[in-house]
Amino acid sequence: MKPFFVIFLVFFAVSGAQAQVYDLPLDSLSEWTGEKSIRVVSNIDGLNADTEFLALLGRLKIKGFDVKFGGSGSADEGLTLEVLQVSDKIAVSIKSTDSQRYLLSVLIDEGDQSGAELREEVNFRGVLPLPADFNPKMVEALPVSDREDGELVFLSDSTLVLGAFDGNRIKRVDTLTSNIKNSKAIFLSVGQSDSDPNPEIAVVWGQDRDISGKGQYTKIYSQIFEISEKKLQEETKKSENIALRFINNRLHTQRYELLQGDIGKVEFASRKGGDVRDDSIVLSNVEKMIFSVFPIDSATSIVVNEENLEVRDPSWESWPRLDLGKVSSPRLTKRLEDREITTSPDYAFSVNEEHLSIPRKVVVNNGSVLTYLRKRRSGFSGLAPASGSDMLIRARWDNSELESGFTVFPMYELSSFIIDFSYVKSKGESRLLILTNEEDDSQGASQIYIY
């Protein structure tokens, strides 16, 4: 009996020391509403025989999770418990199987187990839900320069919001309303058009109108705001029929008298003298919207349409095109100067307007384009939920072999509708924030994915 007693004490002493390794806080698991199954993935030999790790699995079972080792669990749904040996530390994370949501991410220092030190992973990757009353359509990061990093602006149909990102959460700092009846978000850009150090925000809102006998059209309103001492301030009054946009930190304008069916050419605006002159950096074809052109250099631009994008240069014989598929986005309604009469065997009707879709976000950098593909499908109300995943991609083109077109590199698949994205500096690191919504028209719950 005595030897057995000694062995039992030794075992219990080791067990007590190891208990601190896997004594993890599991409160965040209450946020998970998907399939309650967990696959264990690890590079640590003998983990499935570690009594204290099995105690952790027992706690998971008490919370109602079906826990399995290796590939025996579901490959598409549920969670993954990842336990990896990294140098003298153990990295433990609990995440969705598609790695798009992290519920727990800690590093355990094996050299100091007595303190049971749990530290959050520095480069947090996860999903941050936004408040129910906050449904932004667009997001842009503010330039850092001498200011605090992590500053963002969000544009919704009726508000402009200054936000702050501290690495693991987003908070609203200041808010201004559009004061336009039934306004809708059209475009958001940031830049600097004067000599002071405060960043500026160009906002474009729209208002759909119905004129009896003349059809519908969208009234355009633009305004510039400035950020001073963490406050949003109006720098200009609202301008009607003019769209404003910062392109490469320079303010550009374009006339939109959509009641008259007129869209002017893109021009450079000088704030000081009020003069307006042609700017060769942007192709000034009157058929192009100011929201569609993303310059590469003085001659070449990316032109984005509702379903595709092209690299355009007047000196090229052909333009490489990338098909993206349609994305439901804000639309402008333009009245046709000449009504189109459409007839059928049963009736005839007139078409008084056409719709102009605001293109999806693209970021042009060093011979490549960052944008997204709409792969997710909307659900049927009361019958079936939304399904599939949207995809953020990077696409490159080859200037020496234009006929080869684009090479596409998938980056992230998200089980949500991608609405917008932006890179933001946080604690010295560049982080990618992806704005998503459970509905493709942004009327559902909004979330931010962080990478």
Is the predicted pLDDT of residue 181 greater than 60, yes or no? yes
Give 168 or 204, the one with higher predicted confidence: 204
Give 331 or 248, the one with higher predicted confidence: 331
Paired tokens of 390? 């949207």
Residue 222 pLDDT grade (very low, low, confident, very high; cuts 50, 70, 90): very high
Where does residue 27 rank: exposed (0-12), middle (13-18), buried (19+ CB within 10 A)?
exposed
Per the CB < 8 A criterion, the answer to whether 355 and 331 are in contact is: yes
Is the predicted pLDDT of residue 17 greater than 50, yes or no? no
Supply the pLDDT for residue 282.
Answer: 43
Distance from C-alpha of 334 to C-alpha of 243, rounded to nearest angstrom: 14
Q: pTM here? A: 0.70
Supply the pLDDT for residue 161.
Answer: 95
Is the predicted pLDDT of residue 1 greater than 70, yes or no? no
Distance from C-alpha of 190 to C-alpha of 358, rounded to nearest angstrom: 17
In the three-class reduction of DSSP (H, G, I as helix; E, B as strand; rest coil), residue 16 is classed as helix
Distance from C-alpha of 201 to C-alpha of 152, rounded to nearest angstrom: 11
Q: What mean pLDDT is predicted for residues 172-195?
A: 92
Supply the pLDDT for residue 218.
Answer: 95
Distance from C-alpha of 220 to C-alpha of 210, rounded to nearest angstrom: 14
Give 348 or 446, the one with higher predicted confidence: 446
Is the predicted pLDDT of residue 272 greater than 50, yes or no? no
Supply the pLDDT for residue 12.
Answer: 31
Give 52 or 202, the one with higher predicted confidence: 202
Supply the pLDDT for residue 345.
Answer: 61
In the three-class reduction of DSSP (H, G, I as helix; E, B as strand; rest coil), residue 31 is classed as helix
Q: What mean pLDDT is predicted for residues 342-362?
A: 76
Is the predicted pLDDT of residue 74 greater than 50, yes or no? no
Q: Beta partners for 105? A: 93
Is the predicted pLDDT of residue 401 greater than 60, yes or no? no
Note the pLDDT tens digit of each residue in 420-451: 999 998 877 888 999 999 888 888 889 998 88
Residue 362 pLDDT grade (very low, low, confident, very high; cuts 50, 70, 90): very high
Note the pLDDT tens digit of each residue in 124-151: 567 888 888 889 999 999 886 656 678 9
Q: Beta partners for 138? A: 155
Q: What would the DSSP string read from start to end of 133-181?
A: T---SEEEEPP-TTS-SSEEEEE-SSEEEEEEE-SS-EEEEEEEE---T
The residue with tokens 């970021």 is 363
Q: State percent of the chain over pLDDT 70.
A: 77
- Distance (Å) of CA 373 to CA 63, 274, 311, 408: 37, 40, 18, 11
Supply the pLDDT for residue 257.
Answer: 93
Per the CB < 8 A criterion, the answer to whether 318 and 403 are in contact is: yes
Q: Which residues contact residue 3 at a Cβ distance below 8 angstroms, ignoring those fewer than 6 apart? A: none
Q: What mean pLDDT is predicted for residues 31-44?
A: 86
Supply the pLDDT for residue 148.
Answer: 66
Supply the pLDDT for residue 280.
Answer: 42
Note the pLDDT tens digit of each residue in 249-264: 889 999 999 998 899 8
Paired tokens of 60? 């998971």
For 3, the enclosing helix (H) or strand (E) is helix 2-19
Rg (C-alpha) for the chain, rounded Å, is: 27
Per the CB < 8 A criterion, the answer to whether 295 and 301 are in contact is: yes
Q: What mean pLDDT is predicted for residues 160-168?
A: 87
Q: Helices 51-62 and 2-19 sit at what angle, rounded to 10 degrees?
A: 60
Residues in the chain: 451
Please enumerate, as own/partner, the contacts of 192-196 that have beta carbons within 8 Å and a separation of 24 or more: 192/143, 192/249, 193/224, 193/246, 193/250, 193/251, 193/269, 193/271, 194/271, 194/272, 196/226
Q: Which residues contact residue 337 at a Cβ distance below 8 angstroms, ignoring those fewer than 6 apart? A: 260, 261
Please calculate the CA angle 135-138-143 and round it to the nearest 5 degrees. 125
Per the CB < 8 A criterion, the answer to whether 335 and 215 are in contact is: yes
Note the pLDDT tens digit of each residue in 273-294: 343 344 444 444 445 789 998 8
